[in-house]
Structure 1
Amino acid sequence: MLQKLRDKTSGWIASLILGLLIIPFAFVGVNEYMTGGAASDVAVVEAPPTWWESAPQWWPVSMLWQREEVTVDEFRAAFEQLRQQQRQAQGEAFDSREFESADNKRKVLEQLIDQKVLALASTRAGIRIGDAAVQKAISSEPAFQVAGKFSPEQYQMLLASQVPPVSPLKFQEEQRDRLRMMLIPQAINDSDFFTAGEQARMWKLLGETRDISIALLPPVPEDTAPVSDADIKSWYDGHKDDFKQPESVALEYVEINANTLPAATTVDEAALRKRYEDEKSRFIAPEQRVVAHILIAADASADAATQKAAEQKAAALTQQAKGGADFAALARANSEDPGSKDSGGELPAFAKDGSMVKPFEDAAFAMQAGEIRGPVKSDFGYHVLQLREIKPGAGRTFEEVRDELMAEQAGSERERAYNELAGRVVNETLKNPTALAPAAQAVGLPLQKLGPFPRNAPVGIAASPAVLRAAFSETLVQDGTVSDPIEIAPNHSVVIRVSQHTPEQAQPLAQARDAVIAAVRADRRSKAAEAAANALVARLDKGESLATVAAAESLQFNEIPGMRRGIPMPTAEANEAIFAARRPAEGKATAGKVALGDGNYAVFTVNKVTDGDMAAMPEQERTMMQQQLSQMSGGIATQAYVDAMRKRFKVKVFEDRL
């Protein structure tokens, strides 16, 4: 058999076939080598090379096609940012489980894909962003400014405070990428415009006003007529979804609250003193220094000649300052730090805590008061320093902070006891996950009960959104297991178990009978109110004036001239109905009705329509409207561009990595 196989795989035809098979395997190997074989992206945007737009998609992507990736880290960072925004906006109502929905994840991913599409389109268009544009964007960022001017120290400090810290070089490249990505949308937006004719037509509609008359009908009396059994059954059969018994649960729970735990009865003086010594730095304000400086800027990437010229200038200024020249005047005339130049180079007092770049800080804390030193090199260039003041550190004695330490110690003891107790509860529930009573008995806490209650009417601890979500969660309801500790407040949590669950179900007619009768009567009353409104509209359509009808029927009546579109008067629904009514013919009025809620109605007539007139709009408002319409149109055009690019590019999404 082996000999036959060897014979069949020899010869030029077999060699050709094997050679063709090797090619794709070779490319796969190259791709694995270049990417490391790791699944580090959740989406990829790919496009053929600009010099071969018709390159087939099956061609080895890593060799020819251009690509942008949405990495897992990028997606997680964007998703977490949205989570924080939603949590801040919704407060306690924020549901982390609901937020983790596939729709939310896809929404974030689609935004990131659009950004990558723009980035790839910019690359293919040959867009480049120069250093000057990057520096201008950074220096104009308000967060990096002091007194309205760019401050290198503020810039450095903010980048260093990020988690993890961001180097200036990395931040500059991030800004370069952002500017490159935004150049096409900005160009589309800036080039879009609204003509004067389009704006006039838009304002003719948006600026339209209507002169109306409106009358409020009196409430229809309560319906007290009998409701037959046949009507009851007919209404119940047709509206069964309105008469459902909501899902409800009953709970048993154990409450763990640090505030109810016994406080320590004795104070360990030695422990307090040890705590004071261990944490003494908390009670001592560090030494600070007030420094004035002159900055001769020279970027770290500048050439040797530029660096040398800056150093020589700083050295010359150092000699002038040491020779008695006014340091503040030298700073105003020569310093290139816009944040301190106008104040004679003086900076706010700072401690040796990394708030300044290290060479600057080291030099400042090695100087004596009044000393002048320079040149001192940093990432920003060369500095000339003058130490103007040393502010010594000051501390508080043990006796001064004893009460504070004692309160902290008591809080720590209570927190430790709380954590120990919570841990014991968890350990006990792990022994018997479907019963809470043994755990309560083992730790000496009472087993409490709550409910039954529906989701829309929580009581007691269930008023906490976190507890309510857990109480109706699929895991606790179906499995009957004990929950993990659920935090209600700091050092205050509960462990719950669903002891009874009643799913949503239709109420039997006998139980829903009173509600059905009330619904039938409410429907009768609503229909009677609508019929009364229709009758008045019919009279108005025949030519009677609303003022006359209102006087005859003793209705509350108002004339409202110049009503604007979108004004909630008397309600938003009423305004919408009034502007949906047809224009009245010359010398006539258009009648209509609108429901105001609670079975009440109003009737109205549109007596006159006045179109919006651009000529009457102030120039400033006209210009503002033009800008808003252009921005709106530009946004639509930009999205259309992105959508068109997405159709030209190849977008692959890896749902399993979200």
Structure 2
Amino acid sequence: MLQKLRDKTSGWIATVILGLLIVPFAFFGMESYMSQQVDNYAARIAQPPSWWKSAPQVWPVSYLWTFHDIDSQVYRERLEMVRMNMREQQGENFDPKAFESVENKRRILDALIDEQLMKLAAERDGIVISDAEVRESIRKFPDFQVDGAFNADRYQLLLASQNPPMSPRDFEARIRDSLKNELIPSGIARSAFVTDAELDRLMRLLGEHRDVGFVALPPVAPDAGEVTAAQIDAWYQAHKSEYRKPETVRLEYVEVDGSAVPAAAVDEAALHKRYQEQIGKYSSTEKRDVAHILVTVAANASDADKKAAEAKAKKLAAEAKAPDADFAALARANSDDAGSKAGGGSLGLIAKGGMPGAFDDTAFAMQAGEVRGPVKTDFGWHIIKVNTVQAAVQRPFEDVRAELEKELQEGSRERAFNELTGKLVDAAYRTPTSLEPAAKALGLPLQTTPAFTRAGGPGIASDQKVLRVAFSETMLQDGTASDPIELGPERTVLVRVIEHEAEKALPLAQVRDAVVAAIRADRQRKAAEAAADALVKAAKAKGLAAAAQEAGLAVADLNDITRGMPVPSPQAAQAFFNEPRPQAGQASVNKVLAGGQYVVFAVRAVRDADIGQVTPQERDTLRKQMSAAHGMQAQNAFIRAARAKYTIKVAEDRL
């Protein structure tokens, strides 16, 4: 049998078959047959090779394409960040249902796609950002400024306070990438301009006056007609997406609250030791209110210049030491110190060690009101006057005992809190599939939440950090305890998902009443719209006044109204100005739904604004606004054009 197998596999046919089998292994490797790849992208941007722009995205040519994925986790992080920002900005007006809509989620993903496209465009065009541009951008950050100027210490402190901490190099790399990706679109936006003709036309439109008559239609009677089973089923099938139960989770959790952790008793010895360790905190050093007159001497000055400066300093010192001398006036007239000259030479209160050696030694050897000098430092010659002496003060132990006790108790409580949190984490990691053993071991209560959605719930479920963890893929799939989540200072919680229900359609039997109510509301809406359409048709034929009179309705007139006047409502006013101008003396008639009520209106006359009354400042402001709007349109057009160069695939099921 083995000989027959050898004979069958040694001919030219077998060679051809073997060659065909080698091809896929040569292109794609054995690993593609031995492993399974699971895609986890929210969006995939595909780009054909630069040398074959029209390459089809079909196997095996698709392997020549370049793919740039936006990971689902990156999308989720952006989604939660936007959710948190909107919740903070809108407060009670935040609408969780609207935020979870497909349209809103797609809008957030589109922003991520656009950012990736701009990054690809910058790389394609070889854009490079210099170190100087990065530094200048960072220096303009208001958060890094003190009194309007960049402060390096504040810069380092704010970066270190991030979670996780960020090094200056990492932050600068992020700024560099941001500047590189924004350079082309922002340059396009800034290049926009507006002509005088465009500006004049817009001003005439914005300042336009209109005469309008309108009729507010009364609400139609509630629909009480029969709703058949067929109608109910048809409505439900057409609106299934509106009758869904949102995704929910239920948690068990163990919380460590530092305020409930008892602090250890503090004895007198510990208090006295703490007092001695922090004696400097409760003591103020001696300070002196000092003024000076400076005669500068350059380091490379000639001997003659040095002698002249010394002679001038001695002369000024003699004048300053005179009984009737006005030291401040002498400083304003003669001092070379630009910083203190205008203030009469005042340096304010200084502490020991705050000035150059010889100056410092002299100032702290003088009496109040005394003048000495000249004193030589690296800056030149100084004539020094001590105005007042502020003696050192030390607060006694009894005065600060309560502060010391509070500090020690807080430190003790903090150590106990950290120790308890560490023990809880260790215990939870030993039995990650349940928090009950860890809670019992440490004497902490095991608590549970009611089921809640991604919009949040009561208690800890209202915290954004808890929501991010609770709905993370790891927590939903593994059912294990989370890492510690910091809810606030000395308040930490560990959570575990004990129940998860995916989003699902609600059965018709459960939402039948809601469907019937929706059908009747739709009938009522259509009846109201039909009444408005009938009045519009009659008004176009015989005029609004006659049509309204026949219907037993009253017409209200608004004359000489301008844009932005919210009468009779903002929606109605906007419709009045969106309506085309009347032609050949014929009023322009239409309807608008405003505040749940239909309004039928007729625009009788339109008058342009008198642009001769517009000031140059108003023209300049409007020109800048129009240029910004045109620039944004051009920027969006550039992004749309960039999108056309790629194939973008969105994983709708992962949004």
Fold in common (TM above 0.5): yes
Secondary structure (helix, strand or coil) at the match of 1:237 reads helix
Distance 1:469 1:518 in 2: 36
Deviation at 1:583, TM superposition (A): 0.5
User: 2:597 — aligned with what?
Assistant: 600
Distance 2:187 2:336 in 1: 33
User: 1:481 — aligned with what?
Assistant: 480
The question of 1:259 aligning with 2:252 is answered: no
User: 2:583 — aligned with what?
Assistant: 585
User: 1:617 — aligned with what?
Assistant: 614
User: 1:541 — aligned with what?
Assistant: 540
Deviation at 1:430, TM superposition (A): 0.9
Segment of structure 1 superposing worse, 217-226 or 516-525? 217-226
User: Could you tell me which amino acid in structure 2 is paired with residue 232 of structure 1?
Assistant: I
Deviation at 1:608, TM superposition (A): 2.2
Segment of structure 1 superposing worse, 231-240 or 470-479? 470-479
Quick one: structure 1 residues 374 and 204, their matched pair in 2 at CA, closer, same or farther if it must change by over 3 Å?
farther
User: 1:271 — aligned with what?
Assistant: 270
Does structure 1 conserve the Cα–Cα contact (< 8 Å) formed by 2:313 and 2:382? no
User: 1:76 — aligned with what?
Assistant: none
User: Could you tell me which amino acid in structure 1 is paired with residue 612 of structure 2?
Assistant: A
Does structure 1 conserve the Cα–Cα contact (< 8 Å) formed by 2:247 and 2:503? yes
Secondary structure (helix, strand or coil) at the match of 2:434 reads coil
User: 1:455 — aligned with what?
Assistant: 454
Q: 2:363 aligns with which of 362, 367, 385?
A: 367
Secondary structure (helix, strand or coil) at the match of 1:516 reads helix
Segment of structure 1 superposing worse, 501-510 or 270-279? 270-279
User: Could you tell me which amino acid in structure 1 is paired with residue 608 of structure 2?
Assistant: D
User: Could you tell me which amino acid in structure 1 is paired with residue 318 of structure 2?
Assistant: G
1:594-622 CA distance string (max 9 Å, x none) = 2224x422222222222232202234433
Distance 1:410 1:361 in 2: 43
Q: Please list, as runs of the form range in 1=range in 2, the aligned pairs for 1:37-48 lying within 5 A after superposition.
A: none
* Alignment root-mean-square deviation, CA: 5.3
Deviation at 1:426, TM superposition (A): 0.1
Count of equivalent residues: 514
User: 1:74 — aligned with what?
Assistant: none
User: Could you tell me which amino acid in structure 2 is paired with residue 587 of structure 1?
Assistant: G
Distance 1:284 1:377 in 2: 32
Does structure 2 conserve the Cα–Cα contact (< 8 Å) formed by 1:254 and 1:447? yes
Does structure 2 conserve the Cα–Cα contact (< 8 Å) formed by 1:314 and 1:384? no
Residue identity (%):
39
1:572-612 CA distance string (max 9 Å, x none) = 54343222211112533212222224x42222222222223
Does structure 2 conserve the Cα–Cα contact (< 8 Å) formed by 1:376 and 1:384? no
Deviation at 1:365, TM superposition (A): 6.4
Does structure 2 conserve the Cα–Cα contact (< 8 Å) formed by 1:209 and 1:611? yes
Deviation at 1:527, TM superposition (A): 1.3
Distance 2:120 2:355 in 1: 40
Deviation at 1:324, TM superposition (A): 1.9
User: 1:495 — aligned with what?
Assistant: 494
User: Could you tell me which amino acid in structure 1 is paired with residue 594 of structure 2?
Assistant: L
User: Could you tell me which amino acid in structure 2 is paired with residue 247 of structure 1?
Assistant: E
User: Could you tell me which amino acid in structure 2 is paired with residue 606 of structure 1?
Assistant: V
Does structure 1 conserve the Cα–Cα contact (< 8 Å) formed by 2:288 and 2:388? yes
1:339-384 CA distance string (max 9 Å, x none) = 544322324435469xxxx765884465234445555446xx9977
Quick one: structure 1 residues 108 and 394, their matched pair in 2 at CA, closer, same or farther if it must change by over 3 Å?
farther
Distance 1:86 1:308 in 2: 72
Secondary structure (helix, strand or coil) at the match of 1:433 reads coil
User: 2:156 — aligned with what?
Assistant: 163
Distance 1:507 1:336 in 2: 84
Q: Please list, as runs of the form range in 1=range in 2, the aligned pairs for 1:258-657 lying within 5 A after superposition.
A: 258-264=258-264, 266-293=265-292, 318-325=313-320, 326-333=326-333, 340-351=340-351, 360=356, 363-364=359-360, 367-368=363-364, 369=366, 370-372=371-373, 376-377=377-378, 386-456=385-455, 458-546=457-545, 549=548, 553-554=552-553, 558-566=556-564, 569-597=567-595, 599-626=596-623
Secondary structure (helix, strand or coil) at the match of 2:605 reads strand
User: 2:248 — aligned with what?
Assistant: 248
Does structure 2 conserve the Cα–Cα contact (< 8 Å) formed by 1:289 and 1:364? no
Distance 2:81 2:454 in 1: 26
Secondary structure (helix, strand or coil) at the match of 1:255 reads strand
Distance 2:318 2:208 in 1: 76
Deviation at 1:566, TM superposition (A): 4.8
Deviation at 1:319, TM superposition (A): 3.2
